[in-house]
Amino acid sequence: MARPTMEDVARVANVSRALVSLVMRGSPKVSAQRRTAVLEAAEKLGYSPHVMARALASRTSTVLGVMLSDLHNPFFAEVAEGLDAAARAEGFELIINSGGRSPARERRALNSLLSFRPAGLALLGPVVPSSAIESAAEESPIVLVSRSSRLSTVDTVNDDGEAGSRMAVDHLVSLGHRRIAHLDGGGGSQSALRRRGYQIAMREHGLEPEVIRSEYTDAAGAKAIKEMLAARNTVPAPTAIVAANDYNAVGAISALEEAGLRVPQDVSVIGYDNTSLASMRHVSLTTIDQPRTEMGRLAAEALLQRVREDRTEPVRKLLHPKLVTRSTTCSPLS
């Protein structure tokens, strides 16, 4: 069955197509009687306006494009949830795609989103070069989440990743740990800040940092642990791990347990993000909390200010992380 059109609604309501268009845009120029007639006809036919067609016809888009760095990481889904709620409250809708943590794929994803002529773009944890973001910002307002920028045309929403990693190290040291390794986020967004925070905190406590190359995935976390354990001869293994994020931490825990090590009795593990994954009862991961839905809300707010031309100066939102203690950290046995 063909999708009902605006012309079908106009015919059933016995009004012009132009008047139906005014009603669908929420125009105050339509009488209550005619508005009711149009809405009843639309409901009867099961008609809903095509968002993209409406945007192209009116030259004003109500669509926001969102690019997620990684569809598998619940952090981005939770940020997008906050962004979606805030956008819908203001009459905007989202179209979402993913860059798959690849700069080349992110370029293509960015171009695809721009082809929809969105009112604005939110890029969540992008790894695409700054030059590509700057170029896209010439076509559409942009806000970055979990990535810093010095571009005056781009807004940012971040947590203090350096402070968060320092918090993780401080927690482990307070439990008595001295051999603490960091599985870093590789080339991922904000990984350098988290790595630096870990290194600073370790040196402040008079401890030697040990950074193990990894990525923001569970597979990378498991791989890093297996390689770390295989390389140990006479050097003792760490008694605690500061993982790049929650997803990475879960992979690390899996590899530790496969090797016969108990978490947290033999090795404590702390993640980063405090996603829904971390709070699951069988995971119960100690982690550093980023307020994900709040970050999404702030991103939508910043983006819509740009869309409505309420300001031109860049917004730099920096949120303070918090430690959430659960079951994967404890004092070392010896």
Compute the distance between CA of residue 185 and CA of residue 248 in angstroms, rounded to an integer.
Answer: 8
Mean of pLDDT values over 24-41: 81
User: In the structure encoding, which two tokens stand for residue 77, read together?
Assistant: 């889904």
| pLDDT tens column, 294-322 | 999 999 999 999 988 888 899 999 999 99
User: In the structure encoding, which two tokens stand for residue 233, read together?
Assistant: 């001869």
Say if residues 169 and 196 touch (Cβ distance below 8 Å): no
Pick the CATH number of 161-290 from 3.40.50.2000, 3.40.190.10, 3.10.450.50, 3.40.50.2300: 3.40.50.2300
| Domain spans of the chain, in order of start | 6-49, 61-159+292-318, 161-290
Q: Does domain 61-159+292-318 have CATH number 1.20.1290.10?
A: no
What totals of helices (H) and strands (E) does the chain contain, helices first?
13, 12
Q: What secondary structure does DSSP assign to 307-333, as a single string? A: HTTS--SPPEEEEPPEEE--SS-----
- Whether 161-290 and 6-49 are alike in CATH topology: the answer is no
| pLDDT tens column, 49-78 | 655 455 544 446 889 999 999 988 999 999
Say if residues 78 and 296 touch (Cβ distance below 8 Å): yes
- Give the model's pLDDT for residue 57: 47
Say if residues 189 and 249 touch (Cβ distance below 8 Å): no
Neighbours of 30 (CB within 10 A): 18
- CA proximity to 127, closest of 212, 186, 59: 186
CATH C-level class of 6-49: mainly alpha
User: In the structure encoding, which two tokens stand for residue 13, read together?
Assistant: 């309501």
- Give the model's pLDDT for residue 179: 97
CA 147 to the chain's CA centroid = 10
| pLDDT tens column, 13-32 | 999 887 887 787 666 778 88
| pTM of the full structure | 0.81
Compute the distance between CA of residue 79 and CA of residue 62 in angstroms, rounded to an integer.
Answer: 20
The structure tokens 């307020």 sit at: 291
Say if residues 69 and 97 touch (Cβ distance below 8 Å): no
| pLDDT tens column, 149-206 | 999 999 999 999 999 999 999 999 999 999 999 999 998 989 999 999 999 999 999 9
